[in-house]
Amino acid sequence: MSDKEKLAVIRHSTAHVMAEAVLKLFPGAKFAIGPSIDNGFYYDFDLPRPIKDEDLPEIEKEMRRIVGGNHDFVRTEVTKAEALKQFADQPYKIELINDLPDDATITTYTQDGYTDLCRGPHVANTKEINAQSFKLMKVAGAYWRGDVKRPMLTRIYGTAWEKPAELKEYLNMLAEAEKRDHRRIGKDLDLFHIDDENPGEIFWHPNGWLIYSIIKDYVREKIRKDGYVEVNTPFVMPRTLWERSGHWAKYQENMFITESEKRLFALKPMNCPGHIEIFKSRLRSYKDLPMRFAEFGSCTRNEASGALHGIMRVRGFVQDDGHIMCTEDQIPDEVAKFCALLKDMYKDFGFTDDKIVVKFSTRPEKRVGTDEDWDRAEGALADACKKAGLEYEIQPGEGAFYGPKLEFTLIDALGRPWQCGTIQVDYQLPSAERLNAEYVGEDNAKHHPVMLHRAVLGSLERFIGILIENFAGALPTWLQYQQATIIPVAPTVEKYCEDLCAKLSDAGIRVKADFGNDRMNAKIRTAQMQKIPYMLVVGEREMNEGTIAVRFRDGRQQQIMKVDEFIAYVKDKVDSHFVGI
C-alpha cells in the first residue's frame, strides 16, 4: 500500500475499535456506517441516550484498553441470509444488507468479540493502531444516508495517525486553524455576518464589501484583457429551460423552485444555460469563435443547512464565471490560455505554482451523453493538458454530469487544500438534444460548438474566506479594506493629520485618521488588531518636517518617510499586487 492507503486502513480500523468501545459503554447502541475520511474517521450511531463532547475521553479510554489487548481483525465471508440473521438487531445494517444482490458475498470483520459488517480492508491486529496516535474530536448530528426525512444519528468524529508526533502536528495545525477561522476574524474585523434565520446568505458590511469589490474589479480587468466580454443573465428562469438543459432531471434537488401564473421557475444555481441563450440570440459564424462570455452572476443552491459553513459553504453566492464557445479544434489552445490566466491570477493572491494541485475528473455514473461523446471530451481535455504542460491527478467518476473537468486546488499556509478553479469540457449543453446552440461553419453548414465552463476563483464568497484564513486576516496591502491609519501624538497636529489624510486619500490610499481619546500606544494596538498594514505616527517634528513615522504591521523597524515617498511606496506595492505590505 501507499502511505495514504495505509493511513486510511488504520483510520477505518480505529473506527471499528471506537464502535466496539461505544457498544461496551452504551449497551443497546445501533450502528450505521464508519468510514475513514480525510484526516480521520467517523461512525454514526443511534444511541440509547444523547452524548456530548464531554463523553469522548471515556470512550477514548476504552479504545486504548481494546487496542492494548492485541486483538486480531478476523475477516469472514457470509451469505446474505447469514448476514441478515447475524445483524437482526441492527436495523441500519439490515437496510444496507437488503440493498445488496441476493447472491452477494458479504464480509464481516471481528476483533475482541465485536463483529461489524464491512468490506475492509483492516489492519491485521489492533497493535498496529498506536494508542497515543488517535483522538476523538467532536460529536455531531447526521441524517441517516444524508436524507433529512430519515432518523438523525449521532456522529462521532476522530482522527488517527501512525505516530504520536503526527497526531501532535495535526492538533497544532487545528489550533492554528481555529485562530484563523474566517468566521471569527470576519466578526473581529466587521466584515460580514450571517443571520440564523437566513442560513447560507451573507450580509456584507462596509469593510468586507470593499474587499469583495476590490477582488471583483481585479478579476474584471484581468478577464477583459484576456478577451472576455461581460454579460448578465436573469436570476429566475423557467422550468422549460432547465428541462432542456438537463438540470431539472439531474440537479433539481439543489434548486430553489418558485411559481408564477401556474408556471414553474427556478432561481438559477448556475449561469451556463443563460450564456447559451445569449449565444443563440443571433446567427453566429465560425469566425466569431471562440466567444468568451463572463458573468458575475448571483446564483443560489439549496444546500442542506448542516453542510453550511460561514462564507465557505453558502446558499447564495457569485462566481467569477465564464463560458467559452469554441470548436473542437480550439479546445487545447483555449484550455492552455485559461491555465495561463489562472496561474497569473493565483500568483497575485500569493499562490505560486508549488501551491497549486491539478486534478482531472472523469465521467460520473450519473451523466448525460453517450460514451462516444465522453471519450471525445476526455480525450480533448487530456490533449489540452499536454499542450498546457499540466501534470495532474486522476479523479475517477468526479466529473460534472455533462462533461469531464480539471480542478485546481490551492494549498494554504497551513497545508490545507481548497478546490477553487475549474474548466470543464461540455459537448452536451450546446447539442441538438439540449439547448441547440449553432454556428455556421467554414463549409456553410450548421454545427454545434463545444462549451468550456470555467472559473478561476470559483465562488467569490468562498475565495474571500480562504484568503482570510490563509493570511489570518492580515491581507496584502492591495486587498486590505484600510491600508493606513494616521495616529496624531498631540491635538496640535490634528489639522496637519486632516490634510495628510486628504492627500493620501486623493492618491488612492485607503486611510483614516484616529482622533480618539486613547493614548498613542492604545491606538497602535487597535490598528494592529484591525490588521491595518501601516500606522502613520505624527508628532510636532513630523509636522514641521513634512514627514511621517511609519510603523509596519509585521513588526518591522519604524521608518521616517516623506509623504510623497510613502505614497510612492504604497502605490508600488498595490500596483505590483505584492503579497505583503
The residue type at 99: D
Q: Active site residue: 320, 321, 373, 426, which one?
A: 321
Spatial distance between the Cα atoms of 138 and 157, rounded to a whole number of angstroms: 5
> Is-contact 453 298, C-beta < 8 A?
no
Q: Active site residue: 268, 275, 453, 551, which one?
A: 453
- In order, the DSSP letters of 170-221 are HHHHHHHHHHT-HHHHHHHTT-EE--TTSTT--EE-HHHHHHHHHHHHHHHH
Helices (H), 491-556: 494-506, 520-529, 540-545
> Is-contact 236 266, C-beta < 8 A?
yes
Q: Active site residue: 301, 367, 434, 553, which one?
A: 301
Q: Which helix (H) or strand (E) holds 45?
A: strand 40-46
Q: Does residue 71 carry a catalytic annotation?
A: no
Q: Does residue 453 carry a catalytic annotation?
A: yes
Place of cell 449553432: 438
Q: Does residue 428 carry a catalytic annotation?
A: no
Q: Active site residue: 90, 93, 315, 319, which one?
A: 319
Q: Does residue 301 carry a catalytic annotation?
A: yes
Cell numbers representing residue 166 in the block: 503526527
Contacts of 403 (CB under 8 A, 6+ apart): 369, 374, 377, 424, 425, 426, 427, 428, 453
DSSP for residue 47: -
Q: Active site residue: 323, 355, 551, 553, which one?
A: 323
Q: Does residue 319 carry a catalytic annotation?
A: yes
Q: Active site residue: 272, 339, 385, 497, which one?
A: 272
**Residue 67, by phi and psi: left (phi above 0), alpha (psi -120 to 50) or beta?**
alpha
Q: Active site residue: 363, 405, 448, 573, which one?
A: 405
Give Cα 251 distance to the centre of its chain.
20
Cell numbers representing residue 270 in the block: 448556475
Residues marked active site are found at 272, 301, 319, 321, 323, 405, 453
